[in-house]
Chain A
Amino acid sequence: MSTEPVPAGTVLAGGVPAGAGPAMLTLNNVEVIYDDVILVLRGLSLQVPEGKIVALLGSNGAGKSTTLKAVSGLLPSEHGEVTDGSITFAGQDITRMDAAERVKQGMSLCMEGRHVFEHLTIAENLVAGAYTQKAGASSAEVLDEVYTFFPKLADMRNRVAGYLSGGEQQMLAIGRALMARPKLLMLDEPSLGLAPLLVQEIFGYIQRLNAETGLTVLVIEQNARRALEVADHGYIMEQGRIVLEGPAAELRENPDVKEFYLGLGDEGSRKSYRDVKHYKRRKRWL
């Protein structure tokens, strides 16, 4: 782990978050290099406890998406590689596992920007999501569950996905990820490009999924305020490593987080964005 001084209030990254169940996903000192030269993750460690919602926050280029790609095995298609450290999922080392095999083991990723199959209908998108499941009664059951959970999708099942609105596409992307019956659902910026009301709706779905089915969730967000509201635990990333972590409620109150990510001043007053930016440029954790 890093030997650099860490600011007060920081729990050393990598430890089990207090009061949590067994870890569903553990990243231990993961290092990722793209194209053999670009170091993106520099010894990142985090844990996602079973049945919890964990938020991974950080500014653009901190390496959040790369973290999810490393977990779901998508790095090889982008000339990236985990060069050090290990990733453990449900007690199994998956650092070098094939992407398709990881999905079978029970993890689903909802990519940034939704990535629905634009020329396929909603129903076909969902069938594609269940690719790793053996066809039959059980996968029809999951389809029913998804339609019950997102009634809007059921009403439009024969519509071509490319013509749906952003919010509908995000629902479809989540529904499609659920078709693989994941134990761990990873969401990369589910609020991207959505109106505030829709963001609230999407996060409501995530919370309900977690509460009703006990699904473990790892979510990346730019919208730190919203994410820390629904999450149990939060990690904050900067330049490829975790710089701050803690229970979401604590992070919400942390003065640094307030200032950097929530745009609030000391006394809770809203700061001008220009000042925040200026301040950020002068002071970083690392």
Chain B
Amino acid sequence: MSTLVAVLAYGLADGAILALAALGFVLIYKATSVINFAQGEFLLVGAYMFYTAFVVMGLPLLAAVVVGVVVATIIGVLVERLILRPMIGESPISIIMVTIGLSSLLRAVVQMFYGTSPKSMPKILPTGSVNILGATVPLNRLLVILVAAVVLTAFTIFFRRSRHGIAMRAVADDQQAAMTMGISVRRIFAMAWALAGVSALIAGVLLADISAVDQNLAAFGLLVFPVVILGGLDSVPGTIVGGIIIGLLKQATASYWDPGLATVIPYVVLVLILLVKPYGLFGETRIERV
């Protein structure tokens, strides 16, 4: 029983972070049809930006968060403008190659400035633990789940209710029709990348807080792929469900079976689910009237 509670807490925390990281990926794919292989590196860059503001510059927590968000937004917009916009109209495979290149570039830039050794950052979330049903559960995992839930809810409300959120979904649906409404497709593309940068920053900071600020953050980001393929490449709710499933699977495999298998199992389940649901669990099948 206590193992189960621990697995749930750790798994949900991992899943929540994965959902946040995957959200950025899905936003970019939905709005601009770009498959962003650099999403993991966005986490890495986000965490290092926050580290710079919080530790190196010594800003208070709230100011560091604001600086991080602003810088993440700027990076997102710059990547769109300088790297992806010239690629509009190119074949998907070239665009994928460009984002793979971007991922190496971002990792190299981080290494250039910060080196490869882990950085120590004071913990933001409280480090104590609570006792739930006989299991000792670290408090920070629970808070990670809470923070991620709040951020994901905020994003969902943004897409359902706000003018810009609806405009983003409109562009994802039909770019030309959106243009006839006076929606600037370029601005929406920039917005998608900026939001992806911000969600990756939050995911990166949360992840760094429960692990460490080092190069492994990008490796964790690689798990975004099973998450989004599981949830459906273009589904926001799918990222949440996909994230939770992958997070729980990883932790359950590690504690009930073998820690070494924990990195493999998500991909095995991914293949099994794709055999049954090729669009992922929530992927949008095209609506066609006959």
B184 A117 Cβ-Cβ under 8 A: no
Give the CA-CA distance A180 to B179 in the complex, in Å.
12
Give the CA-CA distance A47 to B121 in the complex, in Å.
68
B98 interfacial by beta-carbon distance below 8 Å: no
Contact residue among B173, B179, B182, B284 (Cβ-Cβ distance under 8 Å from A77): B179
A117 B182 Cβ-Cβ under 8 A: no
Stretch of B38-46, B51-59, B162-170, B210-218 lying at the A interface: B162-170
CB-contacts of B157-181 with A (<8 A): 163, 166-167, 169-170, 172-181
B154 interfacial by beta-carbon distance below 8 Å: no
* Cβ contacts A113-132/B at 8 Å (1 or 0 each): 00111111000110111111
B287 interfacial by beta-carbon distance below 8 Å: yes
Residues of chain B within 8 A (CB-CB) of A216 are none
Contact residue among A74, A125, A162 (Cβ-Cβ distance under 8 Å from B180): A74
B contact residues, total (Cβ < 8 Å): 22
A248 interfacial by beta-carbon distance below 8 Å: no
B179 A99 Cβ-Cβ under 8 A: yes
Give the CA-CA distance A74 to B185 in the complex, in Å.
12
Shortest CB distance A134–B (Å): 9
Q: Which residue of A lies closest to B287 (CB)?
A: A162
CB-contacts of B114-161 with A (<8 A): none
A77 B166 Cβ-Cβ under 8 A: no
A8 interfacial by beta-carbon distance below 8 Å: no
Among B172, B177, B179, B185, the one with the most A-chain Cβ atoms within 10 Å of its Cβ is: B177
Instruction: Using C-beta atoms within 8 Å of the partner chain, give the interface range for chain A.
Output: 35 or more
B183 interfacial by beta-carbon distance below 8 Å: yes
Q: Which residue of B lies closest to A72 (CB)?
A: B180
Give the CA-CA distance A160 to B176 in the complex, in Å.
19
A108 interfacial by beta-carbon distance below 8 Å: yes
With contact pairs A77-B175, A135-B163, A162-B287 given, residues A100 and B170 touching in the complex (Cβ less than 8 Å): no
CB-contacts of A67-107 with B (<8 A): 72, 74, 77, 98-104
A162 B184 Cβ-Cβ under 8 A: no
Shortest CB distance B30–A (Å): 10
Shortest CB distance B175–A (Å): 7
Shortest CB distance B204–A (Å): 30
B182 A111 Cβ-Cβ under 8 A: no
Give the CA-CA distance A108 to B176 in the complex, in Å.
13
A120 B173 Cβ-Cβ under 8 A: yes
Q: List 5 A-B contacts (CB under 8 A).
A: A72-B180, A118-B173, A127-B166, A128-B178, A180-B181
